[in-house]
Structure 1
Amino acid sequence: MKSKIHRLSRLSGKHFKESIIKVGKKAKLISAVLLIATLSASAQKTKWSFDKSHSKVQFDISHMVIAEVSGQFQDYSGTVLSDKDDFSDAKIDFSIDVKSIDTDDEKRDQHLRSPDFFDAANYAKITFKGKSMKKVGKNKYKLTGDFTLHGVTKTITLDVTYGGTVKDPWGNIKAGFKITGVINRTDFGLKYNSIMDSGGLLIGEDVTITCKVELIKKV
């Protein structure tokens, strides 16, 4: 009888210890889940979208050496993620619809959409995925990211001027930027050209990009 009671006592003690261990493990698991949830919430960045009614995505290129032709893309979209007031940690994801190219001349625009240039039927999008936004002076930044055009991706760096952040009359938070840079179109397979009698190129190879941007803070 005593041995039975002893065995029962040992079993009860064992079960009690196992229960305590299980409770401890559950408590640790719950704590870990709560910690991860807290960290995720604190790490969540503020999202900004492009206010297209107050933004422009433009380009300029030399024409016959003596002048320039300007154009823009009418259809684009993108987001900016940042949790710093100066946007120095900004992550940018941007996409342009190639078919929306507009140089104020429909015949020329159709040619630009053709395989001679952008080949919009096969390469419908131009994209930029930012990798870093480095502050280099007061309201001045170097924006580096992967730029994809005509199926070719290269890392490029653009100059950014931050105009500031304000609340508009309707209560929206807006941030303004001017982004500029130069790419060589032949690096991306856009090589169509002619040599004039003067020896100069009909169309320049360097393309100046200018983006005038207003971002709107997403609530």
Structure 2
Amino acid sequence: MKKLLSILTVFMFTVSTFAQLNLKSDAAHSRIQFTVTHLGINDITGNFDKADLTIKADEKNFVNSKLTFSADVNSINTHIEARDNHLKSADFFDAAKFPTMDFTSTSLTKTKKDQYTLKGNLTMHGVTKPVTLTLIYKGSTVNAMNKKTTYGYQVLGTLNRSEFNVGPNFPAPMISDLVSIKGDFELTAE
């Protein structure tokens, strides 16, 4: 009986180990892009060049997976240095005080093939709020350079910057309150 229990324990541990795949984003091929409307007439786009996505993927049922992502606020890049420095200042993100934006999933619901509603908590500028995003699985391939399977995921959504107290002295007619985000990530198993 002891031997049977021992075998069952090893089997259960082995099954649970292989049922979860820990995926980590490749920094060189991952970033979060944002778009705001300036003066009501023009879209301004920028990136957080340093962004990480981690997925603890449940291989049997992906909706049970857990996702986290983080962006380094100091990596903001709108291709205008003066604007980037202003966005890092206390007028907007206050990067010295709040150096990262962080997201942790609370639920994942499949909406159609390779697309999910992703709910979770976003912390930005010291404020944590629930947000709803879209997660799209873009596919996988074996990378010829490192021979590892690479997975592609995209995160899409919109946020109201006022809910996170970002740029409170800049009204919506100057800079839109609504911010579109798009995160593109390549991930490999750890």
- TM-score between both structures, scaled by the size of structure 1: 0.77
Equivalent residue letter for 1:183: L
Whether 2:170 is the aligned partner of 1:216: answer no
User: Paired residue for 2:105?
Assistant: 130
Structure 2, unaligned stretches of length 5 or more?
none
Distance of 1:146 and 1:179 partners within structure 2: 14
Whether 2:170 is the aligned partner of 1:171: answer no
Contact 1:178 1:213 in 2 (8 A): yes
Equivalent residue letter for 1:172: K
Deviations 1:123-157 (A, max 9, x none): 11100111222111111111111110011111111
Deviation at 1:38, TM superposition (A): 4.5
Distance of 2:60 and 2:186 partners within structure 1: 15
Identity %: 33
User: Paired residue for 1:152?
Assistant: 127
> May I ask how many residue pairs the two structures share in their alignment?
187
Equivalent residue letter for 1:207: V
Query: The residue matched to 2:97 in structure 1 has which SS?
Result: coil
Equivalent residue letter for 2:84: D
Contact 2:134 2:156 in 1 (8 A): yes
User: Paired residue for 2:39?
Assistant: 64
Distance of 1:191 and 1:125 partners within structure 2: 16
Contact 1:193 1:203 in 2 (8 A): no
- After superposition, the Cα gap between the structure-2 partners of 1:40 and 1:94, relative to the gap in structure 1 and judged at 3 Å, is farther
Map residues 17-28 of structure 1 onto 2, 5 A cutoff: none
- Which has the greater radius of gyration? 1
Q: Which has the larger displacement, 104-113 or 78-87?
A: 78-87
Q: Which has the larger displacement, 186-195 or 125-134?
A: 186-195
Supply the RMSD in Å over aligned alpha carbons: 2.3
- Of Structure 1 and Structure 2, which has the larger fraction of its residues in strand? 2
Query: The residue matched to 2:12 in structure 1 has which SS?
Result: helix
Distance of 1:87 and 1:174 partners within structure 2: 17
Distance of 1:100 and 1:146 partners within structure 2: 21
User: Paired residue for 1:5?
Assistant: none
